[in-house]
Structure 1
Amino acid sequence: MNTGDLGSVLRGRDFRRLYATRLTSQLSDGVFQIALASYVFFSPEKQTTAGKAAAAFAVLLLPYSLIGPFAGVFIDRWSRRQILVFAPVVRAVLVAAVAGLLAAGQDGAPFFLAALLVLGVNRFFLSALSAALPRVVGRELLVMANSLSVTSGTIIAFVGAGVGYLLRKVFGGGQADTALILLCTAGLYLLAALVATTLRRDQLGPDLDRALPQTRDALGNVVHGLADGAAHIWRRRPAALALAAISLHRFLYGITMIMAALLFRNYFSTSADTGLDRFALFLGATGAGFLAGAVITPWVVRLTGKNGWIVLLLLAAAVIEAALGLPFRETLFVIGGFALGLVSQGVKLSVDVIVQETVDDAYRGRVFAVYDMLFNATFVAAAAVAAATVPPTGKSYAVLGVVIAVYACAAVAYRLATRAHAAVTSERRTGKHGTGERRTGERGTVEPRTAEQGDRGDAGA
């Protein structure tokens, strides 16, 4: 990690304020999610099956995809700072409603609907954070800023999960106990809103004088807004390839996580409390992997480029699943959780920067809405596939074997696709400027990039 870049990012007052908003909010997310997950998956009165696990993940994640298109339209029109202020307030109210339902003994459809709304608003909030980041740091620091903010947010969410886990140990896992934990979470969301008020209202964009003519139709037709974002991605081929890579990774990672939850609940242990303790260790190892991925990604990207790093990570995932997953041993699965956490964060950081660098600011909200939709819909699809293929114990050599093979094929396909795009780009440039020798224009001397440089995608950015 380049400590100079890290220092430059942290010296930015506006970045620190945006960063603090993210950390406070995602700490709250961790407490909220572990409270719900421990109640739904590891309640002593409930027996988890692949179908139940898949249904729960679909309920928790599918609304992210449904809300994504709406979020993109408004993030490109409304003050992003105001979104960061009011979204946590809305979540606090909804979390209090969830707590009230549990305290009243209601954990059916209304309970899940309120939980879905909390997570849907959260996706709106995180999309605004991603779209706002380039407004508080320079392009040359985006890799480091993403590495620090996104990864720290993920790690602090794991910390929040740890806090929620400890609160469950103290208060218990019953309905009234979970309600108390949720009320604490509501207070944390209000704190996140307070932190966001330290940013100026007009500071995070969008540039309305440019965005208004392009988003007016999208406000009347959300589907049209989503199509705008998808079309813009298609015109930016590096972004399209990167999103395809992370979507496939999320699908395979989702299958692995469903298997892990079932293994720790029904195979490695048949006790709900013991299973939760061991699964918590697995999640802690995964969080450590996210941190490791954040530390090494900026350094590795400077050597391999963002595309090269994605290829290496997809190949590594295939090896990890084979070496640490196929034996189906508890200790190896925990180690594998660390390794897959590193892979996941490395892929996400690289894709985030590729998308931010290759899309226009006026489209960022809509593009990140598409990104969020793919990010979560692929996990939901993985849950559906797992429900049909993974046994209640979570142990399946066939399913894991397919995951391994697809990871390996994905690495090869992504490498070939990005190299082909780089070669085409290089040919177009040399075709315009003769043999590709140095061209002098009004802005001085321009050195055309080689195919390999194009493949690396401005690795130092």
Structure 2
Amino acid sequence: MSFFGDLRVVLRGPRFRRLFGTRLASQFSDGVYQAGLAGFVFFSPEQHTSAGAVAAAFAVLLLPFSVVAPFAGVLIDRWPRRQVLLLSSLAKAALGVLTAVLVGSGAGTSFFVAALLVMSVNRFFLSALSAALPYVVPRDKLMMANAVTPTSGTVASFLGAGTGAAIGLVGGDAALGTGLILFVAALGFAGAAGVSLTLGRRELGPHLEREPEAVREAVGGVLRGMVAGVRHIRARPAARDGLLTIGGHRVLFGLVTLMTLLLYNNTFTGGGVAGFAGFSVVTGLSGVGFFLGAVATPWATARMSPSAWISLLLGTAAMVLAVCGPPFSPVLFPVAAFVLGLVSQGVKVTVDTLVQRHVDDAFRGRVFSVYDMLFNATFVLGAALAAALVPPSGVSVPVVAGAAAAFLLMSLAWAARARWTASPEETPERAA
């Protein structure tokens, strides 16, 4: 089928539309919330942000995701996933109101604690969405569903971030504007909870009564469950290699993101509103790239193997970063952001589908929690590397060249895998 034919088939399912609507409402609100955090944490007009300060902020904002993720996965494989979506959305709404109040009252440390709780709870929500997707679409449409849902969620987040930035301008005063942004985000989280109620309590699994007794026992403990999930991945080469690639890619993406933020805060502009505006433009172009990467991936994987497609994407990232990076031009960096956004989402959609197709349902929640943990921890690792290697100006030709070389090496590895794999997609049985 053509891309648009598959898209129509996926959107035709009422259960898919309900899950899709829950995602869009929540991730739009995530974008609004993150706009408030970005303006509050990264673009203070009083000072230029150092690489170490930005890396520390990323660690504070993202590492709790990795700590929560293992526990989220085990519970998602035990609790009704619709309930996880509902309760996590309500928790985010309450915490969003709390952070808005704390900002308005001038609170410091307590604001960050509340913000960390919001994003930690979000791990439950996003992991449940991924684990629930195979329940609402046919197996042969998972690639298309993975292109439509996470990507549309990412686009919704970018739109939410733009909306949040506009709300901040209306608010005027920094504290008042940030508080207003966070309150609007809380209203959106409450709306996502309402949309999730259109799905049945047990409609999204898990159905453990259909699994062997050994599987039911495996979800009895968090650590035992995580170990079982890792072993499950290790026995399936397609999923394993995909997750390793996501980890490497996110290290590089974190490095380039921190470098870009420093450039717009300390070199391309004088920081403050101008820095935030410039970085927002780059982020918006990256969002367009995300969307196009998702659109292109189902079309491309219908014509070549997933391994070949990942290789092509990573090779493109290497070339564009090598060409557009070293001049450190405010004209070329947005071009690189667009292409890296396309590459990032193209790789992620492909890997998402490989993981979903090659892991059993009883392990999906834990596997996607491992995925989330890897996704965030490696981004922070990339930011930490940038903090150690990149000066406050953000200008470093050796770092850009090293990132381009790393992309190229990963591309060559997937090209080799494409040659060795006899069929475009390994079956779970063959992988095991």
TM-score by length of 2: 0.96
Q: CA deviation at 1:214?
A: 4.3
Q: CA deviation at 1:455?
A: 6.7
- Per-residue CA distance 1:243-290 (angstroms, 9 max, x = gap): 111110111011000000000000101141111111111011001101
More off after superposition, 411-420 vs 275-284: 411-420
- Structural mapping, 1:120-269, within 5 Å: 120-172=120-172, 174-210=174-210, 213-214=213-214, 221-269=221-269
- Structural mapping, 1:33-182, within 5 Å: 33-108=34-109, 110-172=110-172, 174-182=174-182
Q: From the superposition, tell whether residues 212 and 266 of structure 1 become closer, same or farther in structure 2 (CA, over 3 Å).
A: farther
Report if aligned partners of 2:314, 2:410 keep a CA contact under 8 Å in 1: yes
Letter in 1 for 2:398: A
Between the aligned partners of 1:44 and 1:223, the Cα distance in structure 2 is 44
Report if aligned partners of 2:308, 2:414 keep a CA contact under 8 Å in 1: no
Q: Secondary structure at the match of 1:327?
A: coil
Report if aligned partners of 2:305, 2:425 keep a CA contact under 8 Å in 1: no
Q: Secondary structure at the match of 1:391?
A: coil
Between the aligned partners of 2:211 and 2:310, the Cα distance in structure 1 is 32
Q: Secondary structure at the match of 2:305?
A: helix
Q: Count residues with an aligned counterpart.
A: 427
Report whether the alignment pairs 1:299 with 2:299. yes
Between the aligned partners of 1:94 and 1:154, the Cα distance in structure 2 is 22
Between the aligned partners of 2:393 and 2:385, the Cα distance in structure 1 is 16
Q: From the superposition, tell whether residues 75 and 172 of structure 1 become closer, same or farther in structure 2 (CA, over 3 Å).
A: same
Q: From the superposition, tell whether residues 454 and 268 of structure 1 become closer, same or farther in structure 2 (CA, over 3 Å).
A: same
Structure 2, unpaired ranges of 5+: none
Q: From the superposition, tell whether residues 115 and 215 of structure 1 become closer, same or farther in structure 2 (CA, over 3 Å).
A: farther
Between the aligned partners of 2:28 and 2:255, the Cα distance in structure 1 is 26
Q: Secondary structure at the match of 1:161?
A: helix
Between the aligned partners of 2:151 and 2:273, the Cα distance in structure 1 is 29
Between the aligned partners of 1:217 and 1:114, the Cα distance in structure 2 is 35
Q: CA deviation at 1:453?
A: 3.8
More off after superposition, 231-240 vs 220-229: 220-229
- Per-residue CA distance 1:170-191 (angstroms, 9 max, x = gap): 1135123211211111111000
Aligned to 1:309: 309
Report if aligned partners of 1:293, 1:345 keep a CA contact under 8 Å in 2: yes
Report if aligned partners of 2:264, 2:271 keep a CA contact under 8 Å in 1: no
Letter in 2 for 1:385: L
- Per-residue CA distance 1:383-416 (angstroms, 9 max, x = gap): 1111111110111011111101111011112332
Between the aligned partners of 2:14 and 2:236, the Cα distance in structure 1 is 32
Between the aligned partners of 2:185 and 2:169, the Cα distance in structure 1 is 16
Aligned to 1:433: none
Report whether the alignment pairs 1:280 with 2:285. no
Between the aligned partners of 2:427 and 2:316, the Cα distance in structure 1 is 19
Q: From the superposition, tell whether residues 275 and 206 of structure 1 become closer, same or farther in structure 2 (CA, over 3 Å).
A: same
Letter in 2 for 1:64: F
Report if aligned partners of 2:48, 2:271 keep a CA contact under 8 Å in 1: no
Report if aligned partners of 1:57, 1:383 keep a CA contact under 8 Å in 2: yes
Q: Secondary structure at the match of 2:200?
A: coil
Q: Secondary structure at the match of 2:392?
A: coil
Aligned to 2:406: 406
Q: CA deviation at 1:82?
A: 0.6
- Per-residue CA distance 1:399-451 (angstroms, 9 max, x = gap): 1111011110111123324544x3xxxxxxxxxxxxxxxxxxxxxxxxxxxx1
Report if aligned partners of 1:293, 1:342 keep a CA contact under 8 Å in 2: yes
Between the aligned partners of 2:259 and 2:55, the Cα distance in structure 1 is 11
Between the aligned partners of 2:226 and 2:162, the Cα distance in structure 1 is 36
Q: For the pair shown, which has the larger CA radius of gyration, 1 or 2?
A: 1
Aligned to 1:425: none
Between the aligned partners of 2:117 and 2:215, the Cα distance in structure 1 is 25
Q: CA deviation at 1:152?
A: 0.4
Letter in 2 for 1:177: G
Aligned to 2:330: 330
Report if aligned partners of 2:311, 2:413 keep a CA contact under 8 Å in 1: no
What fraction of aligned residue pairs are identical, expressed as a percent? 49
Q: CA deviation at 1:218?
A: 5.2
Between the aligned partners of 1:145 and 1:252, the Cα distance in structure 2 is 27
Q: Secondary structure at the match of 1:137?
A: coil
Q: CA deviation at 1:4?
A: 1.1
Between the aligned partners of 2:40 and 2:300, the Cα distance in structure 1 is 40
Report if aligned partners of 2:23, 2:129 keep a CA contact under 8 Å in 1: yes
Report if aligned partners of 1:241, 1:414 keep a CA contact under 8 Å in 2: no
Letter in 1 for 2:51: A
- Per-residue CA distance 1:72-97 (angstroms, 9 max, x = gap): 10110100011111111001111111
Between the aligned partners of 1:118 and 1:212, the Cα distance in structure 2 is 35
- Per-residue CA distance 1:278-309 (angstroms, 9 max, x = gap): 11110110011011111111101111121111
Between the aligned partners of 1:89 and 1:173, the Cα distance in structure 2 is 28
Between the aligned partners of 1:94 and 1:162, the Cα distance in structure 2 is 21
Q: From the superposition, tell whether residues 331 and 224 of structure 1 become closer, same or farther in structure 2 (CA, over 3 Å).
A: same
Aligned to 2:369: 369
Letter in 2 for 1:34: A
Q: Secondary structure at the match of 1:330?
A: coil
Report if aligned partners of 1:308, 1:456 keep a CA contact under 8 Å in 2: no
Report if aligned partners of 2:26, 2:192 keep a CA contact under 8 Å in 1: yes
Q: Secondary structure at the match of 1:392?
A: coil
Q: From the superposition, tell whether residues 454 and 196 of structure 1 become closer, same or farther in structure 2 (CA, over 3 Å).
A: closer
Aligned to 1:441: none
Between the aligned partners of 2:172 and 2:319, the Cα distance in structure 1 is 39
Q: CA deviation at 1:216?
A: 5.4
Between the aligned partners of 1:264 and 1:215, the Cα distance in structure 2 is 50
Between the aligned partners of 1:279 and 1:45, the Cα distance in structure 2 is 17
Aligned to 1:396: 396
Between the aligned partners of 2:424 and 2:385, the Cα distance in structure 1 is 39
Q: From the superposition, tell whether residues 311 and 64 of structure 1 become closer, same or farther in structure 2 (CA, over 3 Å).
A: same
Q: From the superposition, tell whether residues 215 and 101 of structure 1 become closer, same or farther in structure 2 (CA, over 3 Å).
A: farther
